A = this chain, B = another copy of it.
């Protein structure tokens, strides 16, 4: 039996557009001889729709579209993710898959395990399935599960604990007990560094355990912070990978589930996958929001240089403008490095010095601030003058402002609210500074894109005389490990200190992270690539006094 994996990139809420895409993939799959075509979880609505799901019209529209798709499933069977009413418990819904054939909906399958952690809020909208029933296609009995339904095995093949949460029901085991011939899992599973390795091991082990071939179909595409990586696959009943779809792009793969092609050994390409994820995240945020061009401030530092390089890869060199805005505290190197970066990238660059504007603010404050020392006020003011300039460019020319801060500085509040934090999309806000260096090196692997000086000089905000990041922050190699322990692993101060870090530094870092929450609450949405990013998946009160 030939089955088509339709790894599509839907746009959230665009029922009409998504339906059209689904119909065209159906046609192509049929043309290529498939008897069944499988679309991802919530293919009709996009993921995550969030509170759009509270709009009754959205649900009606998606049911209407599903019926239209069913009507066209004449000669090919279709599995497609959508949203169904829970009529026993309104206004709750089901995260559902429809199995359609011969022009109608044959069966509906609901998601049993509803992720309600990190960026996921499925219990907010959905009821869990009360039963799991297989469905027949010709001589094959198929089990259909949705994403989290298959994430129930806690241990990877090395016997290591890999998932922190255990569910009481295992939909895969229930369906395997019904003697199905094939498990189909439709997913909307966002990219997280290291997650594919884990997923591949886990699902291969599940296939082997139940002697059950599994087709896994994932969404692809960027939706706000989340980047779906595709990488759909087929494993046979021995747990061997027999087909893998493309990563970070739409794909249609025809799988012969009884075929005997060679086993594949998929591997994550660490830093290259992160690059692809960020490029796709930028590309889709722009196209789905209707923006064509980007603007960003170039400071001569590594963060803005890396952001510019990624933006060019996503949008093209003619769609990115850099603005360098020297102050009296800027080194000559900063402007030179920015000009060199722009030349390397082939992008337009404008130079707009902020000295006169800074002076006009200082004149205005001359009475009010008389006799007071210069302090962080004047540092922030410069950052905010720069953001005003960038936003004026953005408003005048319709370019979306990219903000360039990294995860380490966002964690420590080492950034200016309404200043360098301003922008529509935070491209590298989930990259710790040490990862920024790694990715910059990777970008430069074939030829110089980011100027060498930008990479080698000591990081500085250049907002006062001879300022260096390391005057205020611990060395990034240490800081990033403490931050990872606290933010991604949720360890306490004592546990982190027990790893061998200086107690005073750990306590100061953790307190600073907590104290800076008010800044992050107003931060631009950022692209998520780690298991715990700032943003919708990390929700903290501002007025609080927990001692971590």
Tell me which of A45-53, A194-202, A339-347 binds B. A45-53
Tell me which of A352-360, A405-413, A440-448 binds B. A352-360
Q: In the complex, what residues of B have CB within 8 A of residue A68's CB?
A: none
Which residue, A123, A356, A493, A541, has most C-beta atoms of chain B within 10 A?
Answer: A541
Query: How many residues from A make CB contacts under 8 Å with B?
Result: 93
Pick from B388, B492, B539: contact of A361, CB under 8 Å: B388
Question: Are the C-beta atoms of B540 and A11 separated by less than 8 Å?
Answer: no
Given A388-B388, A391-B418, A356 contacting B360 (CB threshold 8 A): yes
Question: Are the C-beta atoms of B121 and A539 separated by less than 8 Å?
Answer: yes
The closest CB in chain B to the CB of A380 belongs to B395
The closest CB in chain B to the CB of A361 belongs to B357
Q: How many copies does the complex hold?
A: 2
- Which residues of chain A in 491-548 are interfacial with respect to chain B, using CB atoms and an 8 Å cutoff? 492-494, 518, 521-525, 536, 538-548
The closest CB in chain B to the CB of A384 belongs to B388
The closest CB in chain B to the CB of A115 belongs to B124
The closest CB in chain B to the CB of A372 belongs to B396
Q: In the complex, what residues of B have CB within 8 A of residue A285's CB?
A: 543
Pick from B288, B363, B385, B545: contact of A388, CB under 8 Å: B385
Given A55-B490, A396-B372, A544-B14, A91 contacting B164 (CB threshold 8 A): yes
Question: Are the C-beta atoms of B492 and A55 separated by less than 8 Å?
Answer: yes
What 1/0 flags go to A12-53 for Cβ under 8 Å of B? 111101000000000000000000000000000010111110
Q: In the complex, what residues of B have CB within 8 A of residue A523's CB?
A: 522
Q: In the complex, what residues of B have CB within 8 A of residue A247's CB?
A: none
Q: How far is the CB of A62 from chain B (nearest CB, A)?
A: 10
Question: Are the C-beta atoms of B55 and A546 separated by less than 8 Å?
Answer: yes
Q: In the complex, what residues of B have CB within 8 A of residue A91's CB?
A: 164-165
Q: In the complex, what residues of B have CB within 8 A of residue A377's CB?
A: 392, 395-396
Q: In the complex, what residues of B have CB within 8 A of residue A13's CB?
A: 541, 544-547
Question: Are the C-beta atoms of A490 and B56 separated by less than 8 Å?
Answer: yes
Given A522-B523, A546-B13, A392 contacting B365 (CB threshold 8 A): yes
Which residue, A223, A360, A372, A543, has most C-beta atoms of chain B within 10 A?
Answer: A543
* A435 interfacial contact with B, CB 8 Å: no
- Which residues of chain A in 323-363 are interfacial with respect to chain B, using CB atoms and an 8 Å cutoff? 350, 352-354, 356-357, 359-361, 363
What are 19 inter-chain pairs, A to B, with CB distance below 8 A?
Answer: A11-B544, A14-B546, A49-B541, A50-B539, A51-B540, A52-B544, A52-B546, A57-B494, A89-B166, A89-B168, A123-B124, A289-B543, A365-B392, A369-B396, A375-B396, A381-B391, A417-B422, A521-B524, A521-B525
- List 10 extra interface pairs beyond A51-B538, A357-B357, CB under 8 A: A55-B546, A116-B123, A288-B544, A289-B518, A368-B396, A372-B396, A377-B396, A381-B391, A384-B387, A424-B518
